[in-house]
Structure 1
Amino acid sequence: MSSEAIQRIQQATNYVDPQLWVVTAQHGTSRGGMIATFVTKASIVTDCPRFLVGIAKQHHTWGLIEASGALGLHLIPQNHLDWIVQLGGCSGRDNQGDKLEGLSVTTLATGSPILTEAVAGFDCRVESRLDTGDRTVYLLDVQDAVSTQEPQAALRFSDLIARMPAEESSRLAELYARDQEVDRRAIVEWRADYLEAQS
C-alpha cells in the first residue's frame, strides 16, 4: 500500500469516534481487565442479545477469556477517566496484581467481573470465535446486564484525547505504538499463512 493511501485512510479513520469499553474476565482466582474499542452490538433480537468484540492476543485478558469462555463488557462513564489509566496503563502480564482492585465489582451468570459503576455492563458467554491473526473476534451471547438508573453518556475516544493529562496521554501513546507493532507483525504473518493456504 502506498504512503499516500495510508495517509488518506488515516485521515478518513479520524472521523470514526468509537465508544471506549472495559473488557473484564476471570479464570480461577486470576482477574483481568483492559480497554477496547472493537465492540459492537450484533443482534436486534431482544431475547437473543449478542455482541462482537475483538481482543488482541498479546493481552492477559485474552488468555482469561480463552480459559473461561466468558467476559464482561462495560461502557465507561464520563467521570471514570481513571479506569483508562488503571486498566489501559499496564499489562496484566507485567503486573502480577489484580488490575480490578479498588473497583466496585459484582458477578452475574458467568462469574465474570462486572463493574457496577459502568454506564452499562454486559455479562457474556463466548458463542463463537474467529482468528484474524492479531486478535480473536468473539461472538458473545449476553447472559445478563446492569445499567445506571439515570441516563448518561459513555466515554468516547475523542473524550480521552481531549481530557487525558499530558503525562498519562504520552504513556498511553507509547503503549498504543507498542501494541500497533505487535499487531502489525501478527497481521502480516497471518496474511502470509492465509495466502499460502489458498495457493
Structure 2
Amino acid sequence: MNQPSKDELAAQYKAGMRRLAAGVSLITTGHGETQAGLIATAVNSVSADPPTLLICVNQSASAHDIIAACGNFCVNILPTACIDIAGQFSSSARRSERFASGEWRTLASGAPVLCDALASFDCRVTQQIAYHSHTIFLGEILDVRVTETEVEPLIYLDRNFHRGVSPYQLNPA
C-alpha cells in the first residue's frame, strides 16, 4: 500500500476532522478599547488543579497577536441562540460588527465575556507554544461564569453549525 502524498494526507486529514462534531466556542481577548475574537472548536480542558484550558489559534488570525500581547482570553461556550454572533465572528468581512451584538462584560482578566454564553472561562495566558501554523495558548482560569438557562449548545460538524442534541438514553425505561 502506498503512503499518500503530503497534499493527499492533508486533504484526508481535513475530510476526517470534518466528521468530528465539536462544541462552538467564541474566544475573545483584549483590554479596554482593544478587542478581538474568533470562533474555535480547538478548545480543551488541561487540568483542574490549577484549572487550565488550552486553545489553538492560527497565527494568521486577527486575534492571535492580541491574545499574545494582552496575555488573556475568554472561552465563551455558545448556545444555539448565538448563531448570529458565531456568524459575525466567523467572517473577516464582518469584523467591524463583532462586538456590536450581544451583551458584554468583563471579569478579572479584562477579556470580553458574552453574557449569553452557556459558560465563560476567563483566562490568563501562562504559556504559548508555536507549532507550525498555530499557537497553543495555555490559560489558567481566573473566573468562570455559568448560565442557569437550558443547555442547548451550538455544534460544528461537516462545515456547518448545528443545534445541540438531546441526551441519549442508554437504558430507556
TM-score, normalising length: structure 1: 0.71
Secondary structure at the residue paired with 2:23? coil
Q: How big is the shift at 1:82?
A: 0.3
What amino acid maps onto 1:42 in structure 2? V
Amino acid at match of 1:63: D
* Displacement after TM superposition at 1:154 (Å): 1.5
Amino acid corresponding to residue 41 of structure 1 in structure 2? S
Structure with greater strand share of residues: 2
- 8 A Cα contact 2:29 2:36, kept in partner: yes
Secondary structure of the corresponding residue to residue 39 of structure 2: strand
In the TM superposition, residue 33 of structure 1 has moved relative to its aligned partner by: 1.3
Distance 1:74 1:160, change over 3 A: farther
- CA apart distance, 1:102: 2.7
SS, match of residue 151 in structure 2: coil
Provide the aligned C-alpha RMSD in A: 2.4
The alpha-carbon deviation at position 160 of structure 1 amounts to: 6.8
Q: Distance in 2 between matches of 1:162 and 1:76?
A: 11
- The answer to whether the Cα contact below 8 Å between 1:59 and 1:91 also exists between their aligned partners in 2 is no
Contact (CA 8 Å) 1:30, 1:98: kept in 2 or not? Answer: no
Structure 1 residue runs without a partner (length 5+): 165-199
Q: How far is 1:99 from its partner?
A: 2.2
Note if contact 2:154-2:162 (Cα within 8 Å) is conserved in structure 1. no
Amino acid at match of 1:121: S
Q: What amino acid maps onto 1:82 in structure 2?
A: D
Q: Secondary structure at the match of 2:63?
A: helix
The verdict on how the C-alpha distance between 1:52 and 1:37 changes in structure 2, with shifts beyond 3 A counting, is same
Match of 1:120 in 2: 119
Give per-residue Cα distances to partners, 1:99-125, cap 9 Å, x unaligned: 212321111111111111001111000
How far, CA to CA, are the matches of 2:34 and 2:48 in structure 1?
Answer: 33
Identify the structure with bigger relative contact order (alpha carbons < 8 Å, sequence gap 6+): 2
> What residue number does 1:175 align with?
none
CA 1:98–1:10 in 2, change beyond 3 Å: closer, same or farther? closer
Structure 2 counterpart of 1:65, from 60, 64, 67: 67
- 8 A Cα contact 1:75 1:121, kept in partner: yes
Question: How far is the alpha carbon of 1:56 from its aligned partner?
Answer: 1.0
The question of whether the paired residues in 2 share the 8 Å contact of 1:129 and 1:136 is answered with: yes
Q: Give the TM-score taking structure 2 as reference length.
A: 0.81
Q: CA deviation at 1:151?
A: 3.9
Aligned equivalents of 2:32 and 2:138: distance in 1? 23
Structure 1 letter corresponding to 2:131: T
State the AA in 1 paired with 2:38.
M
Map Cα deviations across residues 74-105 of structure 1 (whole Å, 9 max, x no partner). Answer: 1110111101211111268xx4x362123211
1:75 aligned to 77, 81, 85, which one?
77
Residue number among 10, 14, 17 corresponding to 1:13 in the alignment: 17
Q: How does 1:70-149 map to 2 (within 5 A)?
A: 70-90=72-92, 95=95, 97=96, 99-149=98-148
Moved more, 20-29 or 130-139: 20-29
| Percent identity between the two aligned chains | 24
Match for residue 54 of structure 1?
A: 56
Deviates more, 1:149-158 or 1:78-87: 149-158
TM-aligned CA deviation for residue 72 of structure 1: 0.8
